[in-house]
Structure 1
Amino acid sequence: MSAGATTAEDPAHGLAVAVLVPCHNEEVAIASVVAGFRAALPRATIYVYDNNSRDNTAAAARAAGAVVRTEPLQGKGNVVRRMFADIEADIYVLVDGDDTYDPAAAPAMVRLLVENQLDMVTGARVTEIEAAYRPGHRFGNRVLTGIVGWIFGKRVSDMLSGYRVFSRRFVKSFPALAGGFETETEFTVHALELRMPIGELPTAYKERPPGSVSKLRTWQDGLRILRTILVLVKEERPLPFFSLAGAVLLAAGVGLFVPVLLEYLATGLVPRLPTAVLSTGLVLLSFLSFACGLILDTVTHGRREAKRMAYLAIPAPAPRSGQSTPTPAGR
């Protein structure tokens, strides 16, 4: 078979591909996930990271042919941080271990990343099965994705998808600070802030297999993600964040001061001295907030430059020439 034909069939020809599967109590589903990705990406090395499972997740993954490792710190974000630090590859496919994502979509996602030299491809979930993607989760995803899009740029339609393909330079420049499911929000904001080339493909999404239980907590995880968005806005957009806080404080201070001023103009007296002092304090705090925003904006600009330089220090994904055998991931 010619090199061109091989490359056409294998979008990652000559590149080391690692499939990363964080798992917690996925004994029922993990074997199917591993088998699916072994069929879809036969050259890839599949890593399953067991996150304190109380069932036989690790044994089932090992029997299916995956490389099994453990991460004792609970939470998906902690597992992602460990995987990104430990595993060496050219292309990383990240997927949940609950058998809800379609492994057959992986080659197309990898091809899109390689051929267009992208840094992240998101599998946007498409399904008509209400049990797989409940209306509440769908609505929450739209709201949270809309907030991030409004603040950081509308380039992703499914911010909370757990199915991603990354380049090496994304993975090795990603700080991975989150501890739980909010790590998907970090992926998106990191890519948008550094203006990375990214893509998205619609992928089939199905319900969990019988006997598998979701770990998502709708309200708790939604609030954690919203909190993460607010923290990221503070850190990545400090001038608008503190300017808004300053404007609220200034409006409150002026609102309290107006009645005091009108009474003083009418009577020449200031009987509500505590209100006058409070309004003065609020106005001073508003100016302090504006000043903090200006200073932190300069600091953030420097941090963004440093992250950009770290990102540029890693080569873009590109197929290697020749027929050489890909270097196994993790070696």
Structure 2
Amino acid sequence: MFENIKIAVLIPCHNEEVSIAKVVSDFKQALPEAGIYVFDNNSSDHTVREALSAGAQVRRETQQGKGHVVRRMFRDIDADLYLMVDGDDTYDAGLAPDMIKLAMSGPYDLVNCIRRESGDAAYRDGHRFGNRLLTGVVRRIFGNRILDMLSGYKVFSRRFVKSFPALSTGFDIETELTVHTLELSMPATHIEGSYRGRAEGSESKLRTYHDGWRILMLIIRLVRHERPMVFFGTLAGLLAITALLLIWPVIVTYLDTGLVPRFPTAFLSMGIMLLASLSVFTGTILDTVTRGRKELRMLTYLQYPPPLYVPSECAESSAIRPADKDSLHTRNNDLLGQMWRFGLVGIVGYIVNAGLVESLVLNMGPIRAQMLAFPAAVSVTWWLNRTFTFGASQHGIHQEWLRYVLANMLGWAANNGAYLWMIFSIPMAYRHPALAVAVGSLAGMVLNFSASRLIVFKKIRQIR
């Protein structure tokens, strides 16, 4: 069936004597042309003996951790297509030919198996929740093209394997594989397959909380390395907000009395603001460095030919893809760009709100003036966010406006709560309510952005 290509089945193992022989036999039957490689990772049982007796080629990796094993497999084995599967007999070997055909029909650099539970013991509740949480975080930050990130059943092309740096050491290697795919915009697709519980006497090596924490820390490190402007820009924003909250009472006192009685607070605020500025500069510099590293990885990736192209309508029909695939490449899904555009729209909203309040305050007072100015500012920002920041959603225009108003009630509570506190606590804010509007707008902007992006203007349905 696959005589013209070299296929390698890679099975990382640690203490899998109960199931490894069956896994090797099943894949030899499913892919008789493939080489079966078992990489043992310091097993203390008879995993090696069982794998050899089943006819596999056994290699050893002494550094403990799945990441070390994957790095060794990718370095040592040369093939056209690589099928990687766990050695615990939880995946269906009969799906392997379809995955290989699908990889060749694209051709695709990654074919990922989406796990469909076929038994009560397939997933622990902690594993299920952690998988959804971590996959969702990665899809939000790096892109929405990969489903079931932590699946252990995948097919890779040669150019994927040989361009993959493999820096992780443990189960977080699955996250690194996903981010590598997304960062180089590799062709990827999915296929659904059954996922059953482990055989009796076999125990999972995945520690729910320990490994989940490691994966979460890896995601944060990858954001810092691959999205430095997002990471350091967010840090700069938090530092700037802290500095403004500290210096605000000092400014108010100075405007009222002409004195600065709290020099330590002023100096602390200035130092924090300098750190915010340094964070922005750091993010800008590292963004250039990241681009250079990405270009180098792309050049390495392009040194290798694509997989053999063999059209297959049956294979393509079994592929699963996220909805609205074309929209994934539009500028509106750039998180950093959305944040900047949303900030600009927020400034416009502040100008509208403050201008109306200042023009109405003499006749109506600050409270009733804000009651009229706030809905007007909300309508203006909705229209600007719809056309400039996020793009129109799939809802009708009236329903979208209503969802925008309802979703922004969170921001409204923060906005007006801060506004009222300023009005009744600081005499200058009562005389010049534009100052109170500024504080309220800043407090509500964070909640407004999250609600607008995740609820109102969300266009891609999250598939889990």
TM-score in terms of structure 2 length: 0.66
Which residue of 2 is the match for residue 317 of structure 1? Answer: 307
1:161-180 superposed matches below 5 A: 161-180=151-170
Give the 3-state SS of the residue equivalent to 2:293 in structure 1. Answer: helix
Instruction: Return the alpha-carbon distance in structure 2 between the equivalents of residues 273 and 153 of structure 1.
Output: 46
* Alignment RMSD (CA, Å): 1.1
Q: Do structure 1's residue 215 and structure 2's residue 205 form an aligned pair?
A: yes
Give the 3-state SS of the residue equivalent to 2:50 in structure 1. Answer: helix
Of the three residues 84, 87, 96, the one matched with 2:77 is 87
Instruction: Return the alpha-carbon distance in structure 2 between the equivalents of residues 26 and 271 of structure 1.
Output: 70
Which residue of 1 is the match for residue 120 of structure 2? Answer: 130
Which residue of 1 is the match for residue 264 of structure 2? Answer: 274
Which residue of 2 is the match for residue 328 of structure 1? Answer: none
Give the 3-state SS of the residue equivalent to 1:136 in structure 2. Answer: helix
Q: Which residues of structure 2 form unaligned runs of 5+?
A: 311-464
Give the fraction of aligned pairs with identical amino acids, expressed as a percent. Answer: 56
Does structure 2 conserve the Cα–Cα contact (< 8 Å) formed by 1:119 and 1:196?
Answer: yes
Give the 3-state SS of the residue equivalent to 2:308 in structure 1. Answer: coil
1:54-73 superposed matches below 5 A: 54-73=44-63
Q: Do structure 1's residue 105 and structure 2's residue 95 form an aligned pair?
A: yes
* Paired letter, 1:244: T
Higher-Rg member (1/2): 2
Instruction: Return the alpha-carbon distance in structure 2 between the equivalents of residues 130 and 160 of structure 1.
Output: 19
Instruction: Return the alpha-carbon distance in structure 1 between the equivalents of residues 3 and 264 of structure 2.
Output: 73
Does structure 2 conserve the Cα–Cα contact (< 8 Å) formed by 1:13 and 1:319?
Answer: no
Which residue of 2 is the match for residue 262 of structure 1? Answer: 252
Q: Do structure 1's residue 192 and structure 2's residue 170 form an aligned pair?
A: no
Q: Which has the higher helix share?
A: 2
Instruction: Return the alpha-carbon distance in structure 2 between the equivalents of residues 274 and 48 of structure 1.
Output: 63
Give the 3-state SS of the residue equivalent to 1:172 in structure 2. Answer: helix
Runs of 4+, deviation exceeding 6 Å: none
1:152 CA displacement:
1.1
Which residue of 2 is the match for residue 27 of structure 1? Answer: 17
Deviations 1:282-307 (A, max 9, x none): 10000100011111111111111111
Q: How many residues align?
A: 310
* Paired letter, 2:228: P
Instruction: Return the alpha-carbon distance in structure 2 between the equivalents of residues 127 and 227 of structure 1.
Output: 28
Deviations 1:86-122 (A, max 9, x none): 0011110001111101111111111000111100100
Q: Do structure 1's residue 16 and structure 2's residue 41 form an aligned pair?
A: no
Does structure 2 conserve the Cα–Cα contact (< 8 Å) formed by 1:254 and 1:279?
Answer: yes
1:244 CA displacement:
0.5
Q: Do structure 1's residue 284 and structure 2's residue 274 form an aligned pair?
A: yes
Does structure 2 conserve the Cα–Cα contact (< 8 Å) formed by 1:14 and 1:319?
Answer: no
Which residue of 2 is the match for residue 225 of structure 1? Answer: 215
Which residue of 2 is the match for residue 140 of structure 1? Answer: 130
Instruction: Return the alpha-carbon distance in structure 2 between the equivalents of residues 271 and 224 of structure 1.
Output: 47
Give the 3-state SS of the residue equivalent to 1:154 in structure 2. Answer: coil
Instruction: Return the alpha-carbon distance in structure 2 between the equivalents of residues 239 and 163 of structure 1.
Output: 33
1:157 CA displacement:
1.4
1:128 CA displacement:
4.2
1:135 CA displacement:
2.6
1:130 CA displacement:
3.0
Instruction: Return the alpha-carbon distance in structure 2 between the equivalents of residues 254 and 319 of structure 1.
Output: 58
Deviations 1:47-80 (A, max 9, x none): 0011000001001000000000100000000000
Point out the more displaced range, 30-39 or 262-271.
262-271
Q: Which residues of structure 1 form unaligned runs of 5+?
A: 1-9, 321-331
Does structure 2 conserve the Cα–Cα contact (< 8 Å) formed by 1:263 and 1:269?
Answer: yes
Bigger relative contact order, structure 1 or 2, given CA contacts below 8 A and separation 6+? 1
Deviations 1:198-248 (A, max 9, x none): 011001100000110111100111110111111111111111111110000
